[in-house]
Amino acid sequence: MSDAATPADLNLFDVMYNCRAMRRLDTREVPEADLLKMVDAANQAASGGNQQRGRWLIVRDPAQKKAIADLNFEVSRDFVQARIDRGEELPHHDKSTRARMLDAVLYLAEHMHTYPALIVACLEFDERPDDLAASAGSIWPGVQNLLLAARALGIGAVPTTYAINKRAEFESILDLPETIAAYALVPVGYPLGNFGSVTRRPVEEIVRFDRWS
Ligand SMILES: Cc1cc2nc3c(=O)[nH]c(=O)nc-3n(C[C@H](O)[C@H](O)[C@H](O)COP(=O)(O)O)c2cc1C
């Protein structure tokens, strides 16, 4: 599949295999209808007990975007720079590939406020639980649907969590009531670079049949 493939050319597997984290995005506005289409797709995902507690905030107001971007910058900048400085690598990511990714994370931190929309994935509870992580499985399928829908529409997106590490500040910027908790922050916009295929470990390495040993 070529990088220039239009949404109509993409089948589901094309979308899944070409849904890279897109961190360098244009400032050009994304039509509201497409933002809503992405959230509607997110809302089709499974949730535990079909409770459908997913809530989505689309942030476009410049001051709100700046406040969120500042928080993301504050949390990620030094941490990511330190990872670049020590030449981080992984078994499946050599130093230069890793450095390119971390550079993109820094670029995102520096430019997030200029992107057309920041989508925040939340869950609404009757009463806020002490352990928010226990419910995370009911929002991440929706986040993945959101990413796939964005890719199918030719819109770049990346799931992020750095800013949410400062949960109290993050939720206060968004005026979230006690009963709504944020789980992911997804900046979206038209990509400055090309879409491309993801690079993952081969399936033979990560699967076993029947038992592990
Ligand atoms: C739970 C989770 C948290 C993430 N947090 C961040 C983040 O805070 N900042 C960021 O730039 N990317 C973040 N990412 C994106 C991952 O780094 C990205 O999905 C991964 O590197 C694979 O990228 P690729 O699809 O382009 O290969 C997060 C992804 C997940 C699933």
Q: For position 92, which CATH number holds?
A: 3.40.109.10
Q: Is the CB of 160 under 6 A from ligand 1?
A: yes
Strand, helix or coil for residue 93 = strand
Which 8-state DSSP code applies to residue 191? B
pLDDT, one tens digit for every residue, the chain (213 residues): 555 556 666 899 999 999 999 999 999 999 999 999 999 999 999 999 999 999 999 999 999 999 999 999 999 988 888 888 888 888 887 888 888 999 999 999 999 999 999 999 999 999 999 999 999 999 999 999 999 999 999 999 999 999 999 999 999 999 999 999 999 999 999 999 899 999 999 999 999 999 998
What letter represents residue 74's amino acid?
E
Give CA–CA dist 183/186, Å, rounded: 10
Mutation pick for ligand 1 pocket among 160, 183, 188, 201 (CB with most ligand atoms within 8 Å): 160
Has residue 209 been placed in a domain? no
Has residue 17 been placed in a domain? no
Residue nearest to atom 4 of ligand 1 (CA): 160
Residue nearest to atom 15 of ligand 1 (CA): 159
Give CA–CA dist 40/179, Å, rounded: 22
For residue 75, give both structure tokens. Answer: 């949390």
Domain range for residue 88? Answer: 23-191
Has residue 144 been placed in a domain? yes
Q: Is the CB of 192 under 6 A from ligand 1?
A: no
Mutation pick for ligand 1 pocket among 158, 198, 201 (CB with most ligand atoms within 8 Å): 158
Domain count, the chain: 1
pLDDT at position 30 is 98
Has residue 153 been placed in a domain? yes
Give CA–CA dist 166/169, Å, rounded: 6
Has residue 55 been placed in a domain? yes
Has residue 30 been placed in a domain? yes
**Count of CB atoms situated within 10 Å of the CB of 94:** 10
- Long-range contacts of the stretch 60-65 (C-beta < 8 A, 24+): 60/116, 60/117, 62/113, 64/173, 64/174, 65/112, 65/113, 65/115, 65/118
The residue written with tokens 């419910």 in the block is 135
Q: Is the CB of 112 under 6 A from ligand 1?
A: no
Has residue 202 been placed in a domain? no
Has residue 157 been placed in a domain? yes
Q: Is the CB of 198 under 6 A from ligand 1?
A: yes
Tell me how far CA of residue 107 lies from CA of 30, 56, 87, 186, in angstroms. 20, 25, 18, 15
Q: Is the CB of 162 under 6 A from ligand 1?
A: yes
Q: Is the CB of 108 under 6 A from ligand 1?
A: yes
Alpha-carbon Rg for the chain, nearest whole angstrom, is 18
Report the predicted TM-score, pTM, of the whole model to 2 decimal places.
0.94
